[in-house]
Amino acid sequence: MSTVTLTINGQPAEASSGTTILEAARRAGIYIPTLCDHPDLPPAKGSLAAKIIYQGILKIENAAPQEAGKGCGLCLVEVQGETDLIGSCATEVRQGMMVITKMTGSKPRGRRI
């Protein structure tokens, strides 16, 4: 695998190609909050929804099983050149990528989530 160089919050970082932004940030000691991320599970974003789940003996049917998972949205980051915020758990690093994980000003950026 090749190595990719990127910048996260102004800090240079390196990661293997195929690594997600979230993984690269963690390895660089940069915190990105997550809720649905788990090391043994694929990203929730884009995954197929369960048709039925069980809570004990209670059977719960999904009203919209055809909709792909959107993820929790907690790990959204800004990437220079992208119009919208992106999920760091499901986005692979690219050479020269500039990532911002937190707002630095006092004004909201007005990005669409």
Identify the CATH assignment for 3-100 out of 3.10.20.740, 3.50.50.60, 3.40.50.1370, 3.30.465.10: 3.10.20.740
Which pLDDT score is estimated for 20?
Answer: 94
- Cα separation, 94 vs 19, in Å, equals 9
- Cα separation, 104 vs 9, in Å, equals 10
Q: What is the pLDDT along the chain (113 residues), one digit of tens a residue?
A: 799 999 999 999 999 999 999 999 999 999 999 887 777 776 666 667 778 888 889 988 877 777 766 677 889 999 999 999 999 988 999 999 999 998 665 455 555 54
Question: Reduced to 3 states, what is the DSSP secondary structure of residue 95?
Answer: coil
Quickly count: other Cβ atoms within 10 Å of residue 6's Cβ: 22
Quickly count: other Cβ atoms within 10 Å of residue 49's Cβ: 15
pTM: 0.71
Which pLDDT score is estimated for 90?
Answer: 87
> Domain-by-domain residue ranges, the chain?
3-100
Residue 60 and residue 54 in contact, taking contact as beta carbons nearer than 8 Å: yes
Find residue 98's DSSP bridge partners: 7
